[in-house]
Structure 1
Amino acid sequence: MRIALPQSRRALMLVAVLAVLALLLAFVAVRSGPLAPVKVTVARIEERAIAPALFGIGTVEARYTHRIGPTAPGRIASLAVDVGDRVEAGQVLALIDPVDLDQRIAAASGSAGRSAALEQAAASQVTDASARLALARSEATRGEQLFRGGWLTRAALDQRRQALAGAEAALAAAQANRSAAVQDRGRTAAERAALQEQKANLRLVAPKAGLVVRRLAEPGTTVVAGQAVIEVVDPVELWINARFDQTRAGGITAGLPARVVLRSRIDTPMRGSVLRVEPVADAVTEEVLAKVTFDTGAGLPPIGELAEVTIALPARGRTLAVPNAAIHRIGSDVGVWTLRDGDLEFVALKLGVEDPSGWVQVLDGLAKGDQVILHSDRPLTASSRITVVDKLP
């Protein structure tokens, strides 16, 4: 026979069980749940020597690229080289069909002959006009003498003077015709020379020894003046177009040594140096651009390969430094979480250079011996409860 418990006793037992469960949940939440203290590791600010280095990413590029094409429109008749071929200076790379260029040269040659004949005819006209002028001048002089002696009338004298003026005008016209003929012959000769030069430029030759990296058109393709057909580079003259963060690029100058790690040769770094720092930075990515050359020309990488560049900046003396793992950005401020009298505080810093081992120079904001939060298992806020541990799992 079952004995029923009083209603009030059952209610008390239920409340007791719920209270125990609530305490258990609160204990779990405080010790290991979202309300648990954030586990952190700390580090002390110390003075140390900083050997700063600047890290950047770049691609291997040819220092000089020759884009070779015709100076007149035409159709590609033949290509003598392919991608990967090495060429010598003056070697014929391609031939362009001149289309109607030969006919234009022939027409210019005919025009030059016609201009020469016109010049010769004009010279003959000048000779004839000079002779007529001499005769008219002699007749006019004799007429003056006869008129003074009373042997010639005024009308006859005026006729001789008019004949002299006409002869002078005829000579001037003949000389002008000869000058025009000379200029026309020079013009037609220049046109023919220009057409011949255009035809010579339809033989595409290598300006210097190098490597063919691109073939931009195939035989039978019609190209316009100035269109590139073949690209040639000097494989020995390569550099890296490297990009560096503007906030860390202070002090980078030409001549600084560089360590280059190519993606295809991770285990064999190469030595290089900064050739120049570009005067125009990238305003979109906020990066400084620099050209880094290789110290040796042996075994250079293919063009376009990705490279990691580390530039050794001038060393600093002993200075305050903080591990870069402790640095955070909150809004527009860059700083660290510090532990002062057991309370968390975010301190904005003025930072300097960074060395390859991860230490960053502190110019302002911290003092020697200050404790900063190095790592935390959750993001921190000013109201976070923390517990300091030696190592995070």
Structure 2
Amino acid sequence: MMHRSAFVFRAWSGRPAPRIVLAMAVSGLLLAACQPEPASDTDGAPPPTVWVEPVAAAKSAGLSYSGTIRARSDAPVAFRVGGKLSVREVDIGDRVEAGDVIARLDATDFKAALSAEQAQERAARAEADRTADALERIKTLKQKGHVSQASLDAAQAAADAAAEALKAAGERRLLAENQRAYTELQADVAGVVTAVLAEPGEVVALGQPVVRVAAALGREAEVAVPEAHVAAVSQASASVTLWALPGKIFPARLRELSPQADQAARTFTARFEVEDPQGLARLGMTATVHLNPPGQAAGVAVPLSAVWYRDEAAYVWQAAPGDSRVTPVAVRVLRIEAERAIVEGKLKPGMTVVSMGVHRLDPELEVRVVERAPSDPVLVGALQ
């Protein structure tokens, strides 16, 4: 028994037999085949997220002047006769159309004057008719030799005087009608009331302003230009931005440049007509006029981090929210600003470009495009 145990110990404590090694290897392979494959790190993972920002129209790199939005015509409106203001139909901010009644005067005296002139006209017409009939009778009698030439001349003179009196009475009656009509103050043009200068019950004189109406003929940006820049203002193309509407750029053109400088400030007043078909520019808004020197390309503004280079050529990745791919767009860098690059190419304001992590992208890479709002935190890298 002792010799058998020693043999068994020596057999297992030595080198394993080839058959045993082979059996262990086969068992290991079978066990490995039965185990499930480990999940891939990329299977089922969402595509990486890229953040995009909108392309904006570039502001001019030239001169800029601050001013105010004005109406092209802002004139006082007054009665053409004097009297007591009985009714004012409008207040500040009301819109009026041409022909709308703005205010009325007490028309009692004007009605009485009109009635008197109408009575005078009726009397003058009756006198003219009477003298005309008398002239016809005198002419008949003269033909028969019953009256003298002097009587005919007198009848003719009386008829002529009566006709002139009738004409004068008609003119006075028309004047009285006009004065009666002038007791209603009507708007000459469509616009908005910007000031009220008289209250009901107040006696206003002829020509005294009652309200001011800014005509709806367009809006203008009024700025003060230093005398050293007058020549540039006349030659440069212009655009206007509003403090209340950041990012919105309105095309503009110079309409009026004062021929004389202000004696105190030594500046020239310039008025630029603003192209605003939607009526976004409201009266009194703070405006900035940007002048672009002749020959300078305006371009568009993109984030400085959106520009990347390949073989010394500049590109940006263009993509819109909802896209699954990004597209390279060749651009030419015009100038660099604080946080923006002004470029030109096949980009238009409103398009969106990748703003971060541009060197990690590829046209074949599937991504999730999300537009970054100005309030979103800045992330390190574009891919998440």
Q: TM-score, normalised by structure 2?
A: 0.56
CA deviations on 1:238-295 (whole Å, 9 max, x unpaired) are 10122211112223337x4323343444x33532322324251315233233221222
Out of 130, 135, 138, the position equivalent to 1:121 is: 130
Out of 293, 296, 299, the position equivalent to 2:273 is: 293
Unpaired stretches in structure 1, ≥5 consecutive residues: 1-50, 138-163, 318-354, 358-393
Corresponding residue for residue 160 of structure 1: none
Q: Any conservation in 1 of the 2:255–2:273 contact (CA below 8 Å)?
A: no
Q: Which moved more, 1:297-306 or 1:211-220?
A: 297-306
Any idea what SS the aligned residue of 1:71 has?
coil
Corresponding residue for residue 180 of structure 1: 161
Change (3 A) 1:52 1:268: closer
Out of 281, 286, 297, the position equivalent to 2:260 is: 281
Change (3 A) 1:84 1:175: same
Unpaired stretches in structure 2, ≥5 consecutive residues: 1-59, 298-334, 338-384
Whole-angstrom distance in 2 between the partners of 1:258 and 1:250: 14
Whole-angstrom distance in 2 between the partners of 1:95 and 1:277: 36
State the AA in 1 paired with 2:112: Q
Q: Any conservation in 1 of the 2:106–2:183 contact (CA below 8 Å)?
A: yes
Change (3 A) 1:296 1:303: closer
CA deviations on 1:2-55 (whole Å, 9 max, x unpaired) are xxxxxxxxxxxxxxxxxxxxxxxxxxxxxxxxxxxxxxxxxxxxxxxxx97233
Change (3 A) 1:296 1:95: same
Whole-angstrom distance in 2 between the partners of 1:187 and 1:231: 37
1:253 equivalenced with 2:262 (yes/no): no
Q: Any conservation in 2 of the 1:56–1:245 contact (CA below 8 Å)?
A: no
1:85 equivalenced with 2:65 (yes/no): no
Whole-angstrom distance in 1 between the partners of 2:216 and 2:150: 70
Q: Any conservation in 1 of the 2:190–2:216 contact (CA below 8 Å)?
A: no
Change (3 A) 1:289 1:274: farther
Change (3 A) 1:190 1:61: same
Out of 34, 50, 56, the position equivalent to 2:65 is: 56
1:119 Cα deviation from its structure 2 partner = 0.8
Alignment of 1:330-369 (within 5 A): none
Q: Any conservation in 2 of the 1:52–1:356 contact (CA below 8 Å)?
A: no
Any idea what SS the aligned residue of 1:239 has?
strand
Whole-angstrom distance in 2 between the partners of 1:130 and 1:279: 71
- Percent identity among equivalent residues? 25
1:98 Cα deviation from its structure 2 partner = 1.8
CA deviations on 1:302-324 (whole Å, 9 max, x unpaired) are 3233333221121489xxxxxxx
Large movers: runs of 4+ above 6 Å: none
Out of 70, 87, 90, the position equivalent to 2:79 is: 70
Whole-angstrom distance in 2 between the partners of 1:180 and 1:196: 24
Corresponding residue for residue 331 of structure 2: none
Corresponding residue for residue 105 of structure 1: 114
Change (3 A) 1:261 1:316: closer
Corresponding residue for residue 178 of structure 2: 197
State the AA in 1 paired with 2:242: L
State the AA in 2 paired with 1:176: A
Corresponding residue for residue 21 of structure 2: none
State the AA in 2 paired with 1:183: E
State the AA in 2 paired with 1:61: R
1:271 equivalenced with 2:219 (yes/no): no
Whole-angstrom distance in 2 between the partners of 1:204 and 1:356: 57
1:196 Cα deviation from its structure 2 partner = 0.9
Change (3 A) 1:236 1:107: closer
Whole-angstrom distance in 2 between the partners of 1:89 and 1:183: 38
State the AA in 2 paired with 1:272: P
Corresponding residue for residue 302 of structure 1: 282
State the AA in 1 paired with 2:282: P
Corresponding residue for residue 366 of structure 1: none
Q: Any conservation in 2 of the 1:253–1:277 contact (CA below 8 Å)?
A: no
Whole-angstrom distance in 1 between the partners of 2:88 and 2:336: 50
1:223 equivalenced with 2:204 (yes/no): yes
Q: Any conservation in 1 of the 2:73–2:217 contact (CA below 8 Å)?
A: no
More relative contact order in 1 or in 2 (CA 8 Å, sep 6+)?
1
Q: TM-score, normalised by structure 1?
A: 0.55
Any idea what SS the aligned residue of 1:249 has?
helix
State the AA in 1 paired with 2:286: L
Whole-angstrom distance in 2 between the partners of 1:356 and 1:121: 94
Whole-angstrom distance in 1 between the partners of 2:95 and 2:247: 27
Q: Any conservation in 2 of the 1:274–1:290 contact (CA below 8 Å)?
A: no
